[in-house]
A and B are shown apart, each in its own frame.
Chain A
Amino acid sequence: MAKVVIDPITRIEGHLRITVDVENGVIKDAWNTCTLFRGFEIFMQNRDPRDAWQFAQRICGVCPTPHAHNGLIAAEMAIGIPTVPDNARLVRNIMEASQLAYDSILWFYILNAFDYVNVPNALNAKPTTPALQAVQDQVRAVVASGQLGPFANMYWDHPGYKLTPDLDLELTSHYLQAIDAQQAANDAAVLIGGKYPMIMNYAVGGLTMLPSLEALVFYKSKMADVAAFTNNIMFNDLLAIAPFYLDLAKTGKGHGNYLTWGVLDGKSQLPNDRVFPAGGIKGGNLTVFDVDPDEVRRFTKSSWYADSSGQGKHPLDGGQEPIEFTSMPPIEGDAFPSGKYDWTQAARYGTDNLPMEVGPLAEVLVAYGRGVKEVVDLVDAVLAAVGAAGHPEVLMSNLGRIAARVIKSKVNSDHAAEWADLLIANMAAGDTTCYTHVETPATGRGHGGWDAPRGALCHYMELSGGKISKFAAVPASNWNLSPRDDAGVRGPVEEALVGMPVADPARPLEVLRVVHTFDP
């Protein structure tokens, strides 16, 4: 038995510790501990519901746009605005498309790649182009300076790195290109949103204003560049490195339950009519069931919040109060986390209190199960490329999570121009409506449900006296990084870690890989 603690888990958004118990080279048990608490559900009380989305986008500076969107649609439901003008729908899709494209590139390269790409090994490559030579020179200059900066102290000599030097150099080169590509993706919507991160053009009821034609043409041009990067570089990088890491297709399945609220609205603005429709999957069975945000319960037996009922609570019935901090689990010594060990609550779904994995894999599997043709075609193509044609269940793995992220990003990029074209057509036909004003009622109750790039996200809101009386956010971390629930069932990341081989507990590269596949 060996206790391995990684704190901080780096290359993520947020603050996370992972504790694992390694026995005979395999993870026998795992615990995740989020080490940050801010209290959004508390300080959003007594606020104007029209401000909620501005507060909410500060929950995550990596994915502020879907938080803004959830804050908006929860308020719209509470106020009584069932749909927004079609132009507002199109602009919200445009903003999300920019966000999703950037975030996928950021995750694949900046946050994830160093688990697979050995940067120093790129020095052993024989560059075939002047551009690759320049990248190798740049790496050499950093190494020669003795100031390794972000590359210092990594497990570069770990046997788990499998790529050839030439591929390591090429991927390092793409890492640098990815910085420009994620900028292009954010730039695409910045004339429309004002700045990034933290956009400015949303309003409860629609938008503050319609984008100019110039801004839309700029968006299309930038997103064309981003689509080229996504389809020609990122997608091909996935196919290039996957054969070296096929063992990751056999690990990390976890519970096999998946949940998505859907993302990217169709004309009806209904969750099941989205590019990625809402839905759930149980026990690895690709038969999709409909989902309802009011079926979510949160448990706090393992979390630093009071647990008076001993039952799961609807998000609006059990917030972040009262706080009941006990103590941080010890890093030193043999003791494993027990009792309360996390600032995250355990979100569970439905009457069975199921732990649900959320994220691109959930979105892709649900779309596949619902027969969304473009997703079915892409998934089938990827499966054929890795020699698993006809077996979508192999996606339920660490490698599958990475593949799903790239597939989701490609589908998004393929749609990006269409919303701008529809908007331009509406404007040309004289439809410039983008805002509906409805006075805030004294009371109301609403919820969102619109996935962030990293997975299912839903805000809940209750109004009293025209102000927010209760607010709750159930982001992807509440699902994937949930601790054990009151019945002792592990959260999805914890479950996915169990059974993972670890070659060297002092250099737990495999733990980083599993955790990063969830984009925590």
Chain B
Amino acid sequence: MVHDDTTLFRGLSRREFLAFCGSVAALIGAGQAAVPEIASALESLAKRPSVVWSLFQECLGCSVNLLQSRTPGVAQLILQQISLDYHETVMAAAGFQAEKSFNDAVDSGDFFYVVEGAIATKIPEAMTVGGKTSMDIVTSTYKKAKATIAIGGCACYGNIQAAAPNPTGAKGVAAFLSEDAGIPDPTVINIARCPGNAEDMIATLSYVLLYGKVPPLDAIGRPLFLYGATIHDQCERRAHFEAGEFIEQFGDVGTTKGWCWYKVGCKGPVTYAPCPTTRWNGHLAWCVNAGPCTGCSEPAFWDKVTPFYAQAPAALPGLAGVSAETIGYVLGGAAAIGLAGHAIGQVATGRWGKGATGEADEMKKGGE
């Protein structure tokens, strides 16, 4: 490890390092005044935090999005900021040698566990690595991890393979642990969206490292500093919604004027996510630049907000002026549960630890 107190932090110049701390501060909403505190906390780490990353029922989209990260850049992240000790897509070793990397890291007990992908429960052998089922791997690894983060809709809520009729019994990590593995109050941070967003992941991991505790979560396990507001409330096209300026059909004149996608299916009013502010791929763009939001951060994604290209149900009178919350309640289901959670301010703020008080009730809902 290159660590020169005066100029270098693991190969970064001081200027680069402070810029990195600045981006971390922005991501976790700590403000630029926190930069010296963040810098000092990171510099005090004797070794790079070990990350073990399991892939289960997934499409690899979350990892591909991680490869699009640039705050910090990918090489900087995995060679200088963390030690990515197990990730099947990135690691050189395979087979028994890969298993050794997994066991070395996990047996140390000094690692953060990231899960990408759902857990197959009805047909456990629908998902195996090295002959072990995803059920067995996640149960034993969760117990040893310092913290467990579910990245992407699959690890959070089961996502696409859990779409009706859910042929394999796919579940998110928290639901699996509580319903099938006999762990009543699992602590899992859900980084939702499909794919999981790299910057969300880095911000959350940074938060855990800096403060040594779980960030405040919403009713379905998502960090509130990221998932505290609807797409609709943050949308750059909101003024067009209020003014009644809607795209009526794909390719129409409204699409050239940046009007609102609501009538052609936008699920922004019932979707909690930071897309409009953090955007994607190095903050270049986000979905609404290209089409209606499909609600990918919500457990309702595949079964309750489809069809994607039909206006949200309930012909709402006088669209302009109808609040997002009203639309959310009309839609019902898990989205409304999410809204209720926010409305009464159920926020988990307990210190990091399995089954800490204050988290249990929130995390139980992780699989809904």
Which residues of A are in contact with B by a Cβ distance under 8 Å? 5-15, 35-40, 42-43, 47-48, 50-51, 54-55, 58-62, 64, 106, 110-111, 114, 119, 137-138, 141-142, 144-145, 147, 149-155, 176, 179-180, 182-183, 186-187, 190-203, 205-210, 320-321, 323, 325, 327-328, 331, 343, 432-435, 437, 507-508, 512
Distance in angstroms from B63 CB to nearest chain A CB is: 7
Kindly identify which residue among B78, B282, B285, B292 contacts A149, using a CB–CB cutoff of 8 Å. B78
- Select the residue from A38, A192, A325 with max chain B CB neighbours within 10 A: A38
Distance between Cα atoms of A43 and B125 in the complex (Å): 19
Please provide the chain B residues from 145 to 160 with a CB less than 8 Å away from any CB of chain A in the complex: 159-160
Kindly identify which residue among B65, B95, B128, B163 contacts A328, using a CB–CB cutoff of 8 Å. B128
Q: How large is the interface on B (under 10, 10 to 19, 20 to 34, 35 or more residues)?
A: 35 or more
B337 within 8 A of A: no
Distance in angstroms from B12 CB to nearest chain A CB is: 11
Query: A15–B60 contact, CB under 8 A?
Result: no
Residues of A close to B83: CB separation below 8 A: 145, 147, 149
Known: A8-B95, A8-B129, A150-B91. A61 touches B291 (CB 8 A): no
Query: A38–B60 contact, CB under 8 A?
Result: no
Q: Which of B16-24, B66-74, B355-363 binds A?
A: B66-74
Q: Which chain B residue has the least Cβ–Cβ distance from A182?
A: B67
Distance in angstroms from B96 CB to nearest chain A CB is: 8
Distance between Cα atoms of A343 and B296 in the complex (Å): 27
Query: A114–B92 contact, CB under 8 A?
Result: yes
Distance in angstroms from A441 CB to nearest chain B CB is: 16
Known: A152-B93, A154-B93, A186-B68. A179 touches B307 (CB 8 A): no
Distance between Cα atoms of A142 and B77 in the complex (Å): 12
Query: B290–A209 contact, CB under 8 A?
Result: yes
Distance in angstroms from B269 CB to nearest chain A CB is: 17
Q: Which of B50-58, B226-234, B341-349 binds A?
A: B50-58
Residues of A close to B281: CB separation below 8 A: 183, 186-187, 190, 195-196
B7 within 8 A of A: no
10 contacts between A and B (CB under 8 A): A37-B168, A50-B309, A59-B59, A147-B47, A150-B92, A153-B93, A200-B287, A200-B294, A205-B250, A210-B251
Residues of A close to B306: CB separation below 8 A: 47-48, 51
- Select the residue from A37, A106, A328 with max chain B CB neighbours within 10 A: A37
Query: B168–A11 contact, CB under 8 A?
Result: no
Which residues of B are in contact with A by a Cβ distance under 8 Å? 1-2, 10-11, 47-48, 50, 55, 57-65, 67-68, 70, 73-75, 78-80, 83-85, 87-95, 97-98, 100-101, 104, 120, 123, 125-131, 159-161, 163-168, 170, 194-195, 249-251, 255-256, 264, 280-282, 284-292, 294, 296, 302, 306-310
- Select the residue from B11, B67, B296 with max chain A CB neighbours within 10 A: B67
Known: A15-B127, A208-B290. A195 touches B285 (CB 8 A): yes
- Select the residue from A138, A192, A205, A209 with max chain B CB neighbours within 10 A: A209
- Given A176-B75, A206-B250; 12 other pairs, CB 8 A cutoff: A7-B131, A11-B91, A11-B92, A12-B88, A15-B128, A37-B126, A58-B159, A141-B79, A147-B50, A152-B101, A199-B290, A328-B125
Distance between Cα atoms of A202 and B290 in the complex (Å): 9
Kindly identify which residue among B57, B93, B291 contacts A194, using a CB–CB cutoff of 8 Å. B291
Query: B165–A43 contact, CB under 8 A?
Result: yes
Residues of B close to A179: CB separation below 8 A: 67, 73-75
Distance in angstroms from B358 CB to nearest chain A CB is: 34
Query: B10–A508 contact, CB under 8 A?
Result: no
Distance in angstroms from B117 CB to nearest chain A CB is: 9
A-B contacts at CB below 8 angstroms, number? 290
Q: Which chain B residue has the least Cβ–Cβ distance from A134?
A: B11
Residues of A close to B85: CB separation below 8 A: 147, 149, 152
Distance between Cα atoms of A141 and B100 in the complex (Å): 23
Known: A152-B101, A194-B291. A38 touches B161 (CB 8 A): yes
Kindly identify which residue among A13, A39, A199, A328 contacts B131, using a CB–CB cutoff of 8 Å. A328
Residues of B close to A209: CB separation below 8 A: 250-251, 255-256, 290-291
Query: A35–B250 contact, CB under 8 A?
Result: no
Query: A61–B167 contact, CB under 8 A?
Result: no
Distance between Cα atoms of A51 and B163 in the complex (Å): 13
Distance in angstroms from A276 CB to nearest chain B CB is: 23
Query: A203–B309 contact, CB under 8 A?
Result: yes
Residues of B close to A154: CB separation below 8 A: 91-93, 97
Distance between Cα atoms of A110 and B165 in the complex (Å): 36
Distance between Cα atoms of A507 and B95 in the complex (Å): 9
Residues of A close to B250: CB separation below 8 A: 203, 205-209, 434-435, 437
Query: B61–A64 contact, CB under 8 A?
Result: yes
Distance in angstroms from B15 CB to nearest chain A CB is: 16
Query: B89–A149 contact, CB under 8 A?
Result: no
Residues of A close to B64: CB separation below 8 A: 61-62, 196-197
Distance between Cα atoms of A445 and B251 in the complex (Å): 26
Distance between Cα atoms of A9 and B88 in the complex (Å): 8
Kindly identify which residue among A6, A61, A191, A321 contacts B95, using a CB–CB cutoff of 8 Å. A6
Query: B11–A137 contact, CB under 8 A?
Result: yes
Q: Which chain A residue has the least Cβ–Cβ distance from B280?
A: A195
Query: A435–B63 contact, CB under 8 A?
Result: no
Kindly identify which residue among B127, B285, B287 contacts A37, using a CB–CB cutoff of 8 Å. B127
Residues of A close to B294: CB separation below 8 A: 54, 200
Residues of B close to A37: CB separation below 8 A: 120, 123, 126-127, 168
The 10 closest A-B pairs by CB, nearest first: A61-B61, A194-B290, A39-B167, A435-B251, A209-B255, A195-B280, A61-B59, A154-B92, A6-B95, A201-B290
Query: A51–B309 contact, CB under 8 A?
Result: yes
Distance between Cα atoms of A111 and B95 in the complex (Å): 15
Query: A39–B291 contact, CB under 8 A?
Result: no
Query: B55–A331 contact, CB under 8 A?
Result: no
Distance between Cα atoms of A419 and B129 in the complex (Å): 43
Distance between Cα atoms of A191 and B48 in the complex (Å): 35
Query: A8–B251 contact, CB under 8 A?
Result: no
Q: Which chain A residue has the least Cβ–Cβ distance from B275?
A: A195
Kindly identify which residue among B1, B195, B256 contacts A145, using a CB–CB cutoff of 8 Å. B1
Kindly identify which residue among A5, A60, A507 contacts B59, using a CB–CB cutoff of 8 Å. A60
Residues of B close to A187: CB separation below 8 A: 281-282, 284
Distance between Cα atoms of A252 and B254 in the complex (Å): 54
Residues of A close to B94: CB separation below 8 A: 6, 8-11, 512
Query: A191–B167 contact, CB under 8 A?
Result: no
Residues of B close to A11: CB separation below 8 A: 88-92, 94
Distance in angstroms from A421 CB to nearest chain B CB is: 20
Known: A10-B88, A10-B94, A152-B85. A325 touches B125 (CB 8 A): yes
Distance in angstroms from B286 CB to nearest chain A CB is: 6
Query: B47–A210 contact, CB under 8 A?
Result: no
Distance in angstroms from A54 CB to nearest chain B CB is: 6
